[in-house]
């Protein structure tokens, strides 16, 4: 009996020791034991030039003018669901389409569904892939609506000022001093949709963006904040009298074909209207057309404001080259319109074939 009791006691102590060891080796999920966020390991990356702002230009570490040329891909969450989130997508773009930049549209609903920690892990992958290929990333908080009133065009864009601040706080901390993450597009497309989402107010929008920039710069001054104007990021005219009062920033434009409506459709008349609403900004500040593109009126996913007969492509490229405007085409995905590819074999659409040729030619220069 005594031997049996000692054996039982020994087994009990062994089990207790094993449990204690397990508890010490694996963190618990208790609120008091959640680890602090960690930063991306910059030392794991290849050497890559930081892109910065000088006057109305982007420049690299050597002071040479740099132009962002690239595409948007779909949200990481969508690509994961279709088994398309992989380095081969980035390789296709860098090696066969001539891009030097990929814009990552991060939808608030996708950010919440995956969870910040999981989503950041996938952005980490994008950073490594892009850095290995020598290209840059634009991170875009992809909402459409009016952030000050927290009213939006569709539930997928629903967010709050608090969530937006938290998003950029997490992003800025994670990717501090990471040259591959070159641009932070603070809010995708501001619009009140004819004041149905509240009354737009530039002073209010300006103040909100400046506060986001201050928060970002408090942690990292190596990144370029990108600010959008009203009318779905088309109208920058308010900055003529009240520009964003922060150094090192750039402006975003989404000059889709049906935004400008001249009576006579020729280069001169389109250029004049583009100058009035957004192109003028490029004379003083760097500008990135982070969305542009077209589809035929009877094509897949045709909708206002992207319908065009194809004349838009050569015209907008001619204008951007004249003004020194950078760009990322919407969108390298077969589901979202206007598409650049018809399938996951990367068969180019009409606009895809056009911009592919433009970017490949630019890469040779």
* Bind-site residues: 178, 181
Taking the C-alpha atoms of residue 88 and residue 93, their distance in angstroms, rounded to an integer, is 9
Taking the C-alpha atoms of residue 365 and residue 363, their distance in angstroms, rounded to an integer, is 6
Two structure tokens written together for 161: 């000022």
Which among 300, 187, 168 has a CA at the least distance from the CA of 254? 187
Sheet containing 151-152: order of strands:
151-152, 144-146, 189-190
347, burial (CB in 10 Å: exposed 0-12, middle 13-18, buried 19+): exposed
Taking the C-alpha atoms of residue 356 and residue 362, their distance in angstroms, rounded to an integer, is 10
β-strands 287-289, 250-252 pairing:
parallel
Strands in 107-233 per DSSP E: 136-141, 144-146, 151-152, 181-185, 189-190, 224-228
Beta bridge partners of 341: 348
Strands in 310-360 per DSSP E: 326-329
- Please report, in range form, the residues annotated as the binding site for Mg(2+): 178, 181
Write out the H or E segment, with its range, that includes residue 101: strand 101-106
Residues in contact with 77: Cβ distance below 8 Å, sequence separation at least 6, in sequence order: 107, 110, 113, 114, 119
- 């074939």: which residue's tokens? 353
Beta bridge partners of 225: 184
Residues in contact with 81: Cβ distance below 8 Å, sequence separation at least 6, in sequence order: none
Taking the C-alpha atoms of residue 255 and residue 258, their distance in angstroms, rounded to an integer, is 8
Two structure tokens written together for 153: 């065009």
DSSP state for residue 285 in the 8-state scheme: S
């Amino acid at each position: 009996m005594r031997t049996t009791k000692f054996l039982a006691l020994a087994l009990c102590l062994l089990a207790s020791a094993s449990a204690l060891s397990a508890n010490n080796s694996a963190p618990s999920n208790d609120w008091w034991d959640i680890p602090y966020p960690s930063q991306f390991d910059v030392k794991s990356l290849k050497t890559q030039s930081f892109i910065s702002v000088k006057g109305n230009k982007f420049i690299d570490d050597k002071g040479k003018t740099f132009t962002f040329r690239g595409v948007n891909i779909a949200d990481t969450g969508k690509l994961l669901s279709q088994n398309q989130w992989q380095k081969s997508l980035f390789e296709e773009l860098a090696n066969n389409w001539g891009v030097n930049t990929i814009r990552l549209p991060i939808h608030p609903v996708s950010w919440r569904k995956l969870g910040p920690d999981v989503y950041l892990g996938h952005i980490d992958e994008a950073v490594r892939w892009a850095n290995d290929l020598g290209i840059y990333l634009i991170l875009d908080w992809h909402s459409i609506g009016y952030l000050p009133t927290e009213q939006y065009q569709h539930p997928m864009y629903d967010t709050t000022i608090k969530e937006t601040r938290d998003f950029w706080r997490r992003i800025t901390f994670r990717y501090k001093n990471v040259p591959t993450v070159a641009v932070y597009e603070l809010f995708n497309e501001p619009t009140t949709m004819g004041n149905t989402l509240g009354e737009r107010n530039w002073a209010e929008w300006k103040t909100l963006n400046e506060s986001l920039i201050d928060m970002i710069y408090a942690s990292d001054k190596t990144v370029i904040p990108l600010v959008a104007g009203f009318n779905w990021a088309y109208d920058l005219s308010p900055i003529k009298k009240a520009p964003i009062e922060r150094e090192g920033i750039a402006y975003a434009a989404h000059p889709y074909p049906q935004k400008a409506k001249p009576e006579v459709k020729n280069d001169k008349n389109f250029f004049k209207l583009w100058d009035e609403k957004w192109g003028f900004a490029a004379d003083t500040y760097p500008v990135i057309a982070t969305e542009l593109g077209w589809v035929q009126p009877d094509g897949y996913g045709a909708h206002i404001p992207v319908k065009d007969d194809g004349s838009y492509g050569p015209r907008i490229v001619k204008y951007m080259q004249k003004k020194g405007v950078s760009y990322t085409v919407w969108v390298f995905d077969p589901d979202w319109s206007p598409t650049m590819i018809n399938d996951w074999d990367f068969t180019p659409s009409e606009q895809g074939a056009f911009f592919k040729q433009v970017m490949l030619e630019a890469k040779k220069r």
